[in-house]
Every structure is written in C-alpha cells, then in structure tokens.
Structure 1
Amino acid sequence: MTAELKTEVEFSKVIRERHSVRKYDPSWKISDEEIKEILGEAILAPSSSNLQPWRFIVITDQELKQQLLPIAYNQQQVVDASVTIAVIGDIEAYRNAEKIYEYAEAAGYVTAEIGAAMAKRSKDGYSAMPVQKLKEIALVDGGLVSMQLMLAAKARGYDTVPMGGFIPDKLRELFSISERYEPVMLISLGKAAAEGRSTARLPLEEVTRWNGFEG
C-alpha cells in the first residue's frame, strides 16, 4: 500500500504524541516524494556555523533492509517500517563552506564579499580542529537533524524510532562509507502497527538549575 497520511497537527500535540515505535505495518509504503518532504523539513535544523554536516542513506529496498537487519542487532523495525534512514555526519563539512555561501549569495542573504570571507573563516577554523572535535560536532548536529526528522514525520501521522544499536564498521562496509563520515544513528519510519509505549520523564525541577550548576 502506498499512500500519504498528511496529518499535520499543532506542534504541542506533536511533541507529546511522539513516542518510539517498534512495530510497523510492513504493507504500508511511503512515497519517495513524501520522504523527500520530511527530509526537506529536517534539514532546516541548525548546525555549527551552518555547515550542515548531515547526510542520509534512505533505505527502502527490502533486500537491502534484510542485509541491514543483523547490523542493527536484528531489530525488526528495520525491515518492517516503510523506510529506514541512516544518518551520518560529514566530519569535513567545512569543505562545503564555499558552496553553502554561494547558495546564500544567490538567495540574497549575503554579498559575495561577505560570503567569501565567512566561507574562508569556516574552512580555516574547522580544518585546524582535531578529528575528535570534528566528530563531536558532527554527532551533535546529526542529533539535531534527527530529532527534527522525527518531529516532521510525526506531524504527518507517521511514527519513528531512533536506533543507536548498530555495528558501525559493518554499516560502513555495507554502504561503502569512508572515514570522512561518522555514523550517527538509524531511524525507522513508517505507519505504526502498535502504539509506542509511554515513558515517564523526570520532573523539570530535577533537571533544571537557574543561573548556576552544582553536581
């Protein structure tokens, strides 16, 4: 079955109804166009110096999902959900700074002179950072875009589950991912076959301090 739920609801409801769902209707197929729409909203997320290090591998082919299954410790949602998306981070995203500012210039957001200066600042600054720091940035930005992806999906009536449980080296091997890219997470997305389990949250006062921190 291929269809579009297109159920857009208010943000407050979206964030309260989003739960991690692990059981999906395997007959439900999301169109490529709607997947692109969800990803298009996801990439509006913020990133360090707007370098947008996120990259996505969109996995809809069932045979490929089966190959991914043992890499993801046999989590059944990998094959049952309409799509599983591998989110990876480019630790050399600074190499795209000039291209990004060319787009910004074309959109009228910056002048050519300012864009060139900002691109140079990004390239010089980030290229001098240790690899470990670049990985940390890619993971943080990858987390931001992943959360936005899950909320965009929920706003359309779909469900998701983020997965950190996978074997990075095997994922690299399956998709020929070079060392330039750092795997962030897998996200299964589709039509729920069973509701996600509600979970408790620590009270706000237990996780929040005002104007200082002790601990």
Structure 2
Amino acid sequence: MSQLEQIIKQRKSVRSYDPQFQIDKREILELLSIAANAPSSSNLQPWRFIVIQNKELQKEIRTLGFNQAQIEESSAIVAVIGDSEAYKNVEKIYSLNVEKGYMDQSIADRTIKQTLNAYPTMPKEGLKEIAAYDAGAIAMQFMLLAKDRGYDTITMGGFDKDAFAKRFDLPDNLFPITLIAIGKALAPAFNTSRLPIESLTTYFD
C-alpha cells in the first residue's frame, strides 16, 4: 500500500481536540499553499480562506456552529470561502501563466476572452455551484496534507452561514462553504464503514 493510500485510509473526522496544542501560522499557510494546487474550473481558483486561531473568536464562532466543541478546541479553524466573481482574476492568472512559460500568449488571450464571454453571463447560483465544487477539491487536499504531517481534521458544513458572512463583513460575491478544524486529536475518531463501490457504480466495458 502506498503512503498516499495509507493517509487516505487513516484520515478520519476527529471531533475531540487538545485545546493546548497549537500549529504555527506559517505551517497552516504552507498547507493551504500546497493544497492550492487543486484543480478548479478554468483555473480560476475561486477559493478564499479565513483562518481563525484566536481562542476568543473560536468560542464566538462555536455559537454559529451549533455548539460543536471542535470549533473552539482545535488549534485553528480554516473557513473555506467561495468567490462567485473569481473570473475577474482571469487576466492576472493567465498573464502569470505566460510569464512563467506555462503557455504562449495566444492560448492565454483565447482563454481570457472565452472566460470573460461566458462567466459574467452565468446565473449567480451557477457561479456559486462552481465555486463550491472547486472548494471541495482544495478542502480535501488540505485535510490529506494535514494528516500527512500528523494533524487531524474535520470538515463542517453545519453552521449559520449567513451569520458567519455578516460577522466577517463578507461582500456579496464571497460566501462561506465549510469550516475545517485542524489540530491534534484528544480522542480517536470513530471508524466508519463504506458502501460497496459496486453498489454505487454503473460500469460499461
């Protein structure tokens, strides 16, 4: 079994954390930076983050998260935020691709034009769905990277998203998707079963 397979199987949703254990801010940012290699629609990277490592603020956010203890007791909370206007960064992103030699200018220009023709005309709900889908990819990569370094995580979609957005004065284009607690487990997570993949898959050969 490869190391990646072991990490995937070992990562569980931990709900009990050592409140005294702290992860250095620089390491959290490093984990996010590596996780940001996740794929996204048109490479627009529609994810934003709010990292909360202040215990008083974690206690406050716990009230918005239906009193889930891990929000307050973990080393940090990483809020994954979606940006429904991520397409506005397309020129910056693709100009950097050209600068780094990843593609030539004609491909970048064509992609920029296609993006600016398509995305602004989409319904906002469609743009939010794209951002939420892409956020799932980076959230999973972040949690696997955390496990690889010996940390534990849990992702939480159950919190008052409207109140959270208001608390942090999020503009209309930014919306909270999930909270990820990261820290050191105080008690092991429950093991969990999985349905047989054959019962979930239609296969044509």
TM-score between the two structures when normalised by the length of structure 1: 0.92
Q: Within 5 A, what are the aligned runs for 1:74-113? A: 74-113=67-106
Q: How far off its partner does 1:118 sit?
A: 1.1
Q: Which stretch shows the higher mean deviation, 51-60 or 107-116?
A: 107-116
Q: How far off its partner does 1:41 sit?
A: 1.5
One-letter identity of the residue aligned with 2:54: D
CA distance in 2, matches of 1:26, 1:106: 44
Q: Which stretch shows the higher mean deviation, 74-83 or 203-212?
A: 203-212
Q: How far off its partner does 1:110 sit?
A: 1.5
Q: Within 5 A, what are the aligned runs for 1:14-93? A: 14-93=7-86
Partner deviation per Cα, 1:157-191 (whole Å, 9 max, x = no partner): 10100001100111011111111012110000001
- Is 1:141 aligned with 2:134? yes
What is the DSSP-based 3-state SS (H/G/I as helix, E as strand, rest coil) of the residue aligned with 1:201?
coil
% of aligned pairs identical? 45
CA distance in 2, matches of 1:119, 1:153: 34
Contact conserved, 2:165 with 2:175, CA < 8 A, in 1? no
Q: How far off its partner does 1:134 sit?
A: 0.6
Contact conserved, 1:23 with 1:192, CA < 8 A, in 2? yes
Q: How far off its partner does 1:114 sit?
A: 2.3
CA distance in 1, matches of 2:68, 2:154: 11
Contact conserved, 1:138 with 1:182, CA < 8 A, in 2? no
CA distance in 2, matches of 1:175, 1:12: 37
One-letter identity of the residue aligned with 2:23: I
Stretches of structure 2 that go unaligned for 5 or more consecutive residues are none
- Is 1:190 aligned with 2:200? no
CA distance in 1, matches of 2:116, 2:185: 43
Contact conserved, 2:78 with 2:181, CA < 8 A, in 1? yes
- Is 1:158 aligned with 2:129? no
CA distance in 1, matches of 2:86, 2:100: 21
CA distance in 2, matches of 1:103, 1:188: 32
What is the DSSP-based 3-state SS (H/G/I as helix, E as strand, rest coil) of the residue aligned with 2:198?
helix
Partner deviation per Cα, 1:83-133 (whole Å, 9 max, x = no partner): 101101101110000010121112101123321221121121111111111
1:200 maps to: 193
